[in-house]
Structure 1
Amino acid sequence: MTDTAYDPQNVFARILRGEIPSHRVYEDAETLAFMDAMPQGPGHTLVIPKAPARGLLDADPASLAALTAGVQTVARAVKAAFAADGLTVFQFNEAAGGQTVFHLHVHIVPRFDGVPLTPHTGRMADPAVLAEQAERIRAVLGAAG
C-alpha cells in the first residue's frame, strides 16, 4: 500500500517555507506560483496552494477554489508573457497518475502551433533562463495590477 499521508518535507512545502530557492512569479494569501525547474517548454509555471494537500482528492474545497483562481490569473499572464497560441494546463494525482511531488500543484505550459511539448527529462533548467522567464511573467502581472 502506498503512503498517502501529506509529507511536510516535500519539495514544494520547503519552497513555501523559503528553505529551497525558486523563481517566484505570483503569490496571494492562498497560492504561490513559480517556474518549474524541469520545464517541458519555455514559461512552464507551477501553481500550488499554501494549504497542505497531497493532491486534488484531499484538498480542502475552499483551498481548491483559491488554487483555481490563482491558476487562471497566472495562466493569463503566462500566455501573454510568451505570446503563446494556447496553453496546456495539467495536474497529476499519485504515482500511478504521474505525480512525482506529493503537494497539490498545477502545471501551466505555454503552447505554440506545431511545437510539441518537450519530454520530461528530469534535468534542471538554467537558473538564469528561469529568472528571465519569471521576470517576463511578473512584468505582465504587474501591468495587469
Structure 2
Amino acid sequence: MSHSAAQDALDDTCVFCEIVAGRMPCAKVAEDETTLAFMDIDPGSDGHLLVIPKQHSADLLSVPAEDLVATTLAAQRIAKAMYSGLGSEGVNLLNCCGSVGWQTVFHFHLHVIPRYRDKSKDRLELPFEPGGAADADAIEEYARLLAAAL
C-alpha cells in the first residue's frame, strides 16, 4: 500500500482527523491553515495541549517536512504563551512515535506541556532518573550505528 493509500485509509478512522473535520468536539486553543491546537483530554499538567497538522500523517516518520515545521512553530508560539498566560515555569515538548514509544493516536502530534513547581498543577514525572552513570563505549557504538544509518 502506498503512503497516500495508507494515509487515506487512516483518515476515515482517525480521531484527530475527526476533530479537524469538526465531527468530534475539542477545546480549541489555536488554528491556522495548516495546524490545530487543542487541549489534551488526559493532561499531565494544567494547560497540557496537543498541536497537530491538519493533514493526516501517522507519525514522526511519515509527516511531511512542511507539516513538521508548521506544527513545531505553532507549538513554540503556544509554549511562549504558557509562560504569560498560565504562569508556567517550564515547558516540555513531547512526541511519541510508535506504540512502544507511547503513541496511542496514530496522527502525528506534539504535546506541549506546561510545567510548574506546584505539584497540584503538574502531575507529570520523568520515567527515568537523569544524571546516572553512562557507558561511554556504548554511547560511542550507538553514535557509530546511527551515523552509518544516516
TM-score, reference length from structure 1: 0.74
The alignment's C-alpha RMSD in Å is 1.8
TM-score, reference length from structure 2: 0.72
* Higher RCO, 1 vs 2 (CA within 8 Å, ≥6 residues apart): 1
CA shift digits 1:30-85 (9 cap, x unpaired): 10000001111110110000111111110111111111111111111123211011
Q: Which runs of 5+ in 1 are unaligned?
A: 121-145
Partner of 2:65: 61
Q: Which runs of 5+ in 2 are unaligned?
A: 1-5, 126-150
In 2, Cα distance between equivalents of 1:17 and 1:114: 37
Moved beyond 4 Å, runs of 4+: none
Deviation at 1:119, TM superposition (A): 5.7
In 1, Cα distance between equivalents of 2:122 and 2:87: 16
Which residue identity does 1:57 align to in structure 2? L
Query: Structure 1 residues 76 and 119, CA, compared in 2 at 3 Å: closer, same or farther?
Result: closer
Q: How many residues align?
A: 116
Q: Which of residues 103, 111, 115 in structure 2 aligns to 1:99?
A: 103
Partner of 2:123: 118
In 1, Cα distance between equivalents of 2:79 and 2:56: 22
